[in-house]
Structure 1
Amino acid sequence: MERDVPAGQYLATGLGAVTGQTRGIMMRSTVLSNSASTWRNVFCVALVCVTWWFLVPTWSLGFTDRIVAVVNKEVITLTDLQHEIRDEYSRLKAKYHGEEFERRYTQKQREVLNALIDERLQLQEAKAIGISVTQEEIDAALRRTPLLPTQTEEEFGKQLLLKKLFDLEVRRNVVVEEGELRRHYEVNPHNFRLQPQFRLKQIFLNANSEEARQRALSKAQAIYADWKPEETSLEDLAARHTQFVSELGWVEEKDLVAPLAQAVKELIPGTLSRPIETQVGIHLLIIEEVKESQPYPFEQVERDIHAQLVKQRGEEAYRGWLKGLKQKAFIDVRF
């Protein structure tokens, strides 16, 4: 059975539907209008930013870092380089100025950059073949070798890792045969000789000022003129001039300052030297006894020869190994 609906209700319902549709259309129109306005604003801001980026020089933005080298998939930045060279920069800046400073600093930068590239290659190789160092290994090494004043534990661990890599990849392949040690000893005898030794005594006159130096020199000349080795000892000679004799003991030429070393070369044992001037005063030397140069026994230097040859061959092997890493790597230097 159909129910009659008043005409007014139909009208109200129709008007409500129309009003709802109209409101929906208006809302969609407003949203679209706002969306378009938003995109216009974004576009304008982006355009201003891009224009500003190209017009304003990068140095005014404070962007000083850049890539100076690429090693395989890793980059070395200018900041990395400056961090490594900071101490050298201060040293060079204090010693050189102007173009000379710039030349030396640029040269040092290139040297340090090459070292950084070598280091990155080795660290990458260590990672590739599964070599690492544990915290326990670092702690044990630190107990034997404390950190340097400017060194961090991270840097120490890195050096420990590089040493571990070197020992595994290079040093273990270096072999020195017993016969090679003997041949090296026989071919290089001058490297394994005791240097001549001299037992010295002296009369020393202090000179802490120019006036005192002149007085000391005059007195030393008088002592030298009074020296008669066949009649008196050095001690008696010194006593006559109210001076003392000091025993220098056994020394080599390398132990003496240059003026004294030169005098010892020319002095005949048992004779008194002429007055010798040094920064501290005036010396009168006498050689009491001489031990001539003689070879070390092979057994005494065998271990030193072995260490020397291992070091020499290890360095050669390391250069060859590192060259191989570079040949198979991608390296792009942009400095």
Structure 2
Amino acid sequence: ETLSRQLASLLELSTVSDADPNRPNVCPRLVVRQSPQDRRELLKRLLNDASKAREYSSNFGVSRNYCLQVWKLCEALWGADLDNDGVPGTDIQSKVHRHKCLLQWLKEAVADVTDKELSETRQGEPEDELDGHSARVWTLLLGGRVLEACKLSKDCGDLNMATLIAQATGDPAFKSLIARQLNTWQECGADTLIADSRRATLHLVAGLRPSSHLETLDWIRALRATARYLCPQIPTLEQIVRTYESYFSSSEDVDLSSLPEDEMGMSFPTPPYDDVYTLTTSVSASLLNPTASVMFIILIIISTYNRPETGNGSPPTMRRG
């Protein structure tokens, strides 16, 4: 039913492109109308239909929420531009708004896994068995629930952590002070006495990559941590994606399109149904692999769409250097 309504909207707001006589193998096709108003209306309808859908049958392959989040991502990436007659705003307010929309979408997208982890019973960690709250604080921070993380720290008497988290995305000078303290603890060996989750939280607060923790996360929480804490205060989408991509290999000059999956330093951005189906492909395990989550593919394409093509009609490789 939902798919029928969405297809009807696509048909209504699309036009038929004529076949090109110079390309006899290309058939006429439907193309969404170019006007920003029509595209805005289409996105609004698709999102509205997805939000009203009932849970899909397990045979459909993906959940209702997954489909809804795909359209919400499109809204976060294009909504404001379409409202502005299709012209991306270049002023600082527009950049801040786009970043805020992306972070809000990431927060919603990780809500389920955040709730699931919070519902699990946690024990004190080997480094500090009396610290029973830092693991939950780490989960809340990854999930974008900063106020909850501060409140939990405060309720557990951890006022120092609550204060640090509240300032986590502020002045770079503040981050440098935390980074200096972490370095001092590491030099004297005191960091081995700090709970692992607490140390990871402090690294994020300092704008440093908590490598041993980031690698084990699902891709969407790792991306959110990158966007919120490991990039400049108001980064572009390309900066976020480039930074995230850089964590897949220790080499600064690596072609991620040819990097084997078992050599990647991060969890591959697969969709939530990858454990239900066995997917095989002749394409290398690159970040544009068709087995990657469609949400991540959208982010990759939007962040790289203005880069030159390779000349053969294929997407540009993710080579950095």
Q: Name the structure with the higher strand share.
A: 1
TM-score strictly above 0.5? no
**Greater percentage in helix:** 1
User: Normalising by structure 1, what TM-score?
Assistant: 0.19
Q: Higher RCO, 1 or 2 (CA under 8 Å, sep at least 6)? A: 1
